[in-house]
Amino acid sequence: MKPKFAMYWAASCGGCEIAVLNTHEKILDVDANFDVVFWPVAMDAKYKDVEAMEDGSILLTLFNGGIRTDENEHLARLLRQKSKILVAFGSCASEGCVPGLANLSPVGEIVHTAFNTITTDNPHELYPRTSFDVPEGELHIPKLEKVLRPLDHVVDVDYYMPGCPPESNQITAVIDLVIKVVKGEAELPPKGSVIGAGDSTVCDECPRARNVKFIKQFNRIQDVAPVDPTLCLLEQGIPCNGPATRSGCNSRCPNAGAQCIGCYGPAEGVLDYGARLITAFASVIDATEPDEIEKILDGIPDPVGQIYRFNLAGSLLKANRESLKVVNGK
């Protein structure tokens, strides 16, 4: 009997699901070595079928997406109960990612923006309800929680696989490892490990030269002309997140002429991504007076999006004060 495999898509864009498909023929190895018992995006799967399974009967579950609704939380707890190995798959599950930026706004403001703005024709200001009676019975839609949480804020996680989405070659490597473990040819890394990624920084992978140049201001990359294709982007005044971001992507963005935006999450040993990044930015500033340093840092375009785009929900900040008041009751 083949070991069981599951995959679930919570609060995310779905790119992690596409990344799995981008392993091409390698996905056939999953089918050959696993019994795929739950993967709603790819098969007809019912929650009741998972609920009926024995605890721990699923060998491996890749859980992508953050926890934003009560349905997300229910499935996180259910799949944790049924799975021997639970992997936070992708940036949303690992650290919150872009959906976590919604933690900057109270949930009422989010709903209003979605259903009552110039982009939405809603003259009667109708908003979704969690339950509604229809002739066929009562319909239920998931309740939107006050903040988005990474997976490990809700359940115990065995491994983390960062990336927005994870690189296909890294997914392939993890699939190969698990298959070898099943066959008794390899062992899993220690619980809590980051898999499918490196243990250094994007800067360590980047071929661009670092000359310890100092800058007087930060600019969006489109406002810097010409961009030197051989020199560190940060030393050209372009906010690049490479110094704080975990390696594993082969510095794909800097190699293509774009700054690293941090999708592989904090590098090994980084407690708070934003704090490490601000330190890196400050290190290239050509100023010694605190007021001047602060002024230059204030010039970073879209500072929250730059620094916490992928990890606000998993950072020390987690959310804005008003949202946290609602959650903590203080």
Say how many residues make up the chain.
Answer: 330
Per-residue confidence band for 293, with pLDDT thresholds at 50, 70 and 90: confident
pLDDT at residue 321, rounded to an integer = 59
pLDDT at residue 271, rounded to an integer = 87
Which residues constitute the domain of residue 289? Answer: 202-299
pLDDT at residue 322, rounded to an integer = 57
Instruction: Judge if 224 and 139 occupy the same domain.
Output: no
Instruction: Judge if 150 and 140 occupy the same domain.
Output: no
Instruction: Judge if 86 and 225 occupy the same domain.
Output: no
Q: Is residue 138 part of a domain?
A: yes
Q: Is residue 260 part of a domain?
A: yes
Q: Is residue 315 part of a domain?
A: no
Q: Is residue 132 part of a domain?
A: yes
The whole-angstrom distance between residue 251's C-alpha and the CA centroid of its chain comes to 17
Instruction: Judge if 164 and 46 occupy the same domain.
Output: yes
Instruction: Judge if 224 and 170 occupy the same domain.
Output: no
Instruction: Judge if 158 and 238 occupy the same domain.
Output: no
Q: Is residue 84 part of a domain?
A: yes
CA dist list (Å): 62 to 3, 137, 166: 14, 34, 12
Rounded-to-integer distance, Cα 128 and Cα 310, Å = 28
The string of DSSP letters for 39-88 reads -TTTS---HHHHHTSPTT-EEEEEEESBEEEHHHHHHHHHHHHHEEEEEE
Q: Is residue 104 part of a domain?
A: no
pLDDT in tens, 252-276: 999 999 999 999 999 998 988 999 9
| 320 vs 27, higher pLDDT | 27
Highest mean pLDDT of the ranges 97-101, 169-173, 210-214, 284-288: 97-101
Instruction: Judge if 158 and 220 occupy the same domain.
Output: no
pLDDT in tens, 114-127: 888 877 888 888 88
Nearest 5°: the CA angle 126, 130, 131 is 95
Phi–psi pair at 109, nearest 5 degrees: -70, -35
Instruction: Judge if 127 and 162 occupy the same domain.
Output: no
Are 307 and 273 in contact by the 8 Å Cβ rule? The answer is: yes
State the pTM of this model.
Answer: 0.90
Instruction: Judge if 150 and 61 occupy the same domain.
Output: yes
Cis amide bond preceding 165, omega within 30: yes
Residue 291 has pLDDT above 60, yes or no: yes
Domain count, the chain: 3
Per-residue confidence band for 166, with pLDDT thresholds at 50, 70 and 90: very high
Question: Which CATH number is 37's domain given?
Answer: 3.40.50.700
Q: Is residue 191 part of a domain?
A: no
pLDDT at residue 329, rounded to an integer = 45
Alpha helices, DSSP H only, in 83-150?
91-95, 107-115
pLDDT in tens, 56-92: 999 999 999 999 999 999 999 999 999 999 999 999 9
Instruction: Judge if 239 and 94 occupy the same domain.
Output: no
Instruction: Judge if 26 and 175 occupy the same domain.
Output: yes
Instruction: Judge if 53 and 167 occupy the same domain.
Output: yes
Residue 214 has pLDDT above 70, yes or no: yes
pLDDT in tens, 11-56: 999 899 999 988 888 889 888 999 999 999 888 889 999 999 999 9
Name residues whose C-beta falls within 8 Å of residue 273's C-beta, 6 or more positions apart in sequence: 244, 245, 262, 265, 266, 307, 308, 310, 311, 315
Q: Is residue 291 part of a domain?
A: yes
| 326 vs 114, higher pLDDT | 114
